[in-house]
Amino acid sequence: MQPVRKELFCDIAIIGGGVGGCAAAIAAARRGRHVIIFEKGVSLGGLATNGYVPQIAGGIEGICLEFTKRLEAEGQLRKLYPDKDYYRNPSFEPEFGKIVLEEMVTQAGARIIYDSTCMDVEMDGPYIKKAFFYTKGGVVSVAADIFIDASGDADLAAMAGVPYEVGGVDFAGLNMSTTLGSRWSGANLKKYLAAEEAYKAEQLAKGVKNPHPLVYDLEEAAIQRGELVRHVCNKNTGFFRVIIPNTPEDNVDFVTFSFHSYFCRNTDCEDITRQVLEQRQLMKGFLKFLRTEVPGFENLRLVGTGSIPGVRDSRRIFGEYMLKAADIVCGNKFEDGIARFPEMLDTHHPTSSNLVFQRHIHMKNPSGTAITLKSGCRAEMHPFGVPEGVEARPSPRDYCEIPYRSLLPKKVDNLLVVGRCCSAEFHANGAMRIIGPAMGTGHAAAVAADVALKENLRPRELDGKLLRKILIEEEGVPLDKPCEGYWAELREQEGEFFVNYGDAIGIRPAGN
């Protein structure tokens, strides 16, 4: 290694400035700790901002709720249901996401170091003594009492010798499909929606029972003509759009996660390069299609592509508890539950652009609130063999918790791991990797680190039940109450469950 040019010291060092790392930095600094957050890029937010994924999914609680409210106060949030007093999948301006996170982190008193890529560690038995960073000015080191790996890819944990897994065991170690986020400008949504309305009326008049959205049928026709490839769009709904706030209806900015690569190996730089090259070519072809074929998109421009690859999963550590897909499906709760998510499994299919998602698992004895309706798995869903047991999916009326033990890596004693790389099975990661729980785990890890330091304990010696109590009583995370807002409405909504086109569970209102 090159000589160390600068040595830094702190109580808690956080590697990675995504939403998980930011929540950790804010919470730890507010509890009076000397915190440094190291980020290899030059802005905060990770995938949520730099990856153009500015849509907050999952339960929005704790620091995530504060982030959401601050974006709203800045006029930079778009609510999916403007008339409701709750948030459900709100989108935000990604550039403001970076600014609001910088303000929250610095106002809390944490220090940010950009342009610093963690590249090595020095160990002292089971403890990380120092982490080393590649920077423009040479190697920088940090010595800390506790480290938090928020790199999304468990980079620090892997360097420190924590065992990990990559990809799905039922998919021969392949990762979920990846999607480079992209930002587009100049869509006349008003014109498109009018054209879609007319198309729908036309289809109904022809006797088509449930007409597709116009863009979906145009995409399918272009695919059949050989002018578009299947993995440019979502087979089920047409291309997926998230509208950026403050852009007028006749000149909309949106982001889309529609350009999938399959058979991905997300810790291999050559394969990541292949995916990104492929996805930018898909965007180029799709731009031409939209401009020439879809009403309202004639003046569309591609104005940004993600500056970090659209990796949904890579390394997942082996921790004191590996969250199971079955925990999510059955709605399991834990005595040391420190974050939660009332969401479906969202495995983006590793190999099939026809199916796009796998949102069920197979279980021999599903319990709890698991729903066991059949969708009739096709061979393509499980290319290496259909697992034993019945199909099981989580109930939209329930939620699952993430235990503190899933943040505690095996083998290393002064490390916590947060965000999309904590200890969870492949299909469980497909649910808990979203922004809400990523921030929830960051928040919880910071409180755990603070209390462990105060009590002179190793994080794994801290009582997870106590941590949960502190999160509820001191940090205002409502883990003791059922999920509110949108989720309360779902709980009360009457109707029959059915497996929808996206392989998830929907609720069909009575009489439909």
Ligand X SMILES: Cc1cc2nc3c(=O)[nH]c(=O)nc-3n(C[C@H](O)[C@H](O)[C@H](O)COP(=O)(O)OP(=O)(O)OC[C@H]3O[C@@H](n4cnc5c(N)ncnc54)[C@H](O)[C@@H]3O)c2cc1C
- Nearest CA to 124 out of 161, 99, 89, 94 is that of 161
* Size, binding site for ligand X by CB under 6 A: 40
- What is the smallest separation between the CB atom of 134 and ligand X, expressed in angstroms? 8
Query: How many C-beta neighbours within 10 Å does residue 65 have?
Result: 18
Quick check: 46 binds ligand X (CB under 6 A)? Answer: yes
| CB closer to ligand X, 420 vs 443 | 420
| CB closer to ligand X, 214 vs 356 | 356
The end-to-end CA distance of the chain, in Å, is 66
Interaction residues for ligand X, span 431-460 (CB under 6 A): 433-435, 438
Quick check: 323 binds ligand X (CB under 6 A)? Answer: no
Contact between residue 189 and residue 275 where contact means Cβ atoms under 8 Å apart: no
| CB closer to ligand X, 179 vs 234 | 179
Pairing mode, strands 415-417 and 138-149:
parallel
Q: How far apart are CA 160 and CA 153, in angstroms?
A: 13
Interaction residues for ligand X, span 100-119 (CB under 6 A): 117-118
Of the candidate spans 9-17, 209-217, 457-465, 485-493, the one that interacts with ligand X by CB under 6 A turns out to be 9-17
Which one among 25, 56, 144, 453 touches ligand X, defined by CB under 6 A? 56
| CB closer to ligand X, 86 vs 497 | 86
Quick check: 152 binds ligand X (CB under 6 A)? Answer: yes
Q: How far apart are CA 500 and CA 375, in angstroms?
A: 9
Within 137-287, strands assigned E span 138-149, 164-166, 178-179, 182-187, 242-243, 252-256, 260-261
Quick check: 98 binds ligand X (CB under 6 A)? Answer: no
Which one among 310, 342, 409, 440 touches ligand X, defined by CB under 6 A? 310
- Nearest CA to 494 out of 362, 396, 385, 378 is that of 396
| CB closer to ligand X, 199 vs 286 | 286
Quick check: 41 binds ligand X (CB under 6 A)? Answer: yes
Of the candidate spans 28-36, 51-59, 107-115, 231-239, the one that interacts with ligand X by CB under 6 A turns out to be 51-59
- Tell me, what amino acid is at 440? G
Quick check: 19 binds ligand X (CB under 6 A)? Answer: yes
- Nearest CA to 52 out of 302, 228, 322 is that of 302
Q: In angstroms, what CA-CA distances link 314 with 43, 263, 301, 345?
A: 22, 13, 31, 17
| CB closer to ligand X, 135 vs 188 | 135
Contact between residue 369 and residue 394 where contact means Cβ atoms under 8 Å apart: yes
DSSP-H helix ranges across 317-434: 325-330, 426-432
Interaction residues for ligand X, span 365-424 (CB under 6 A): 419-420
- What is the smallest separation between the CB atom of 374 and ligand X, expressed in angstroms? 28
| CB closer to ligand X, 43 vs 414 | 43
Q: How far apart are CA 443 and CA 421, in angstroms?
A: 15
- What is the smallest separation between the CB atom of 420 and ligand X, expressed in angstroms? 4
Burial grade of 280 (CB within 10 A; 0-12, 13-18, 19 or more): middle
Q: How far apart are CA 71 and CA 48, in angstroms?
A: 13
The distance from CA 402 to its chain's CA centroid, rounded to whole angstroms, is 15
Quick check: 57 binds ligand X (CB under 6 A)? Answer: yes
- 100: tokens are 């609001």
Which one among 39, 278, 391, 425 touches ligand X, defined by CB under 6 A? 39
**What binding mask, one character per residue, do residues 243-282 give for ligand X by CB under 6 A, x or -?**
--------------x-------------------------
Q: Determine the length of the chain.
A: 512
- What is the smallest separation between the CB atom of 244 and ligand X, expressed in angstroms? 13
Quick check: 427 binds ligand X (CB under 6 A)? Answer: no
Q: Site residues (CB under 6 A) for ligand X?
A: 15-21, 38-41, 46-48, 51, 53, 55-58, 117-118, 150-153, 155, 179, 181, 257, 308, 310-312, 419-420, 433-435, 438
